[in-house]
Amino acid sequence: MATSRTRVIVMAAILGLVAILGVVWLVGVATGGGAPSAGSAGADDGYAGDTSSSDPAATDGTGGTGGTDGTGGSSSPGAGPSATSGAGSSSSARPSSQRRSIRVNGVRLDGTPNDDGCATIINKTSAPAVVTNVTFTLKRSPAPVGLAPASSACDNGGDPPCEGARVREGGQCLAGVRLTGRPAPGEYLIGVNVSYRYTCTSPDDDPCNYPSLRGVPMSPENPVEVYGTTSNNVPDIQIFVEGSASPEASPADPGPDENSPPPPTDELPSPAAPEDDPAPEET
């Protein structure tokens, strides 16, 4: 009888222990104390909400030959117009107004010299250009002289001055220069340097197909601004200043020639003194 009672007590204790462990496990599962879910892994390690992207449009893409326009393609929160919000955002969602700027010098233009001090600049590329500035360099001159822009003095024939003009592909504008100070007479040869800006949306356009832009992604939604300066195939300007050279100093008077007759004089020669008669000879 005692043995049966002991068995009952042991079985009851085992069942009670199993019940207690089951209740503890159920409470742990209900309160989230189990294994961490895959979605919450590393949430405290800075990976949740990461907005970094390997989008090539977020980099310069020129192999060190260019730069950005200040917005830089950054996608960190609070970084200006490119800031993103929310987890998992990509830099490809940047506003289309954001443009990268890459410097490309030496774009080939064209032109012809016009009247004295003027030249026509022709946009021979296949994209519209904005001429941001025109500067001049004195290449040859009879004497030092100053230069000043004077496009407004050129006979435009309907063509606008180049400074600040938007010149379509195949279009043209005028560049003019004048001499300042007191230029010496002679011929002056003046070089023309054109600064420009292009908006590239296709690598098939000129100058968007230049070697320094190879591999740079561009499209109407993701344009690239190309800027620089060139004198490539831009005509020189000639200015002629009329007048004679400074007269040379007169040679020194060598004096009268020894073989030349004496200069005439108004004075009459003095009469010769009479000679004394010789004494008579005695006979």
Q: What pLDDT, in 10s, does the model give residues 72-106?
A: 333 333 333 333 333 343 333 344 446 789 999 99
Which tokens in the block code for residue 126? 């296949």
Alpha-carbon gap, residue 55 to 53, rounded angstroms: 5
Q: What angle do CA 278, 280, 281 make, to 5 degrees?
A: 115
Q: Which domains, from first to last, does the chain contain?
A: 110-241 (2.60.40)
- In tens digits, the chain (283 residues) has pLDDT values of 567 778 878 888 888 888 888 878 777 777 765 544 444 443 333 333 333 333 333 333 333 344 434 333 333 333 333 333 333 433 333 444 467 899 999 999 999 998 779 999 999 999 999 999 999 999 999 999 999 999 888 877 789 999 999 999 999 999 999 999 999 999 999 999 999 999 999 999 999 999 999 999 999 999 999 999 999 999 999 999 998 654 433 344 445 555 555 555 555 555 555 555 555 454 4
Are 168 and 160 in contact by the 8 Å Cβ rule? The answer is: no
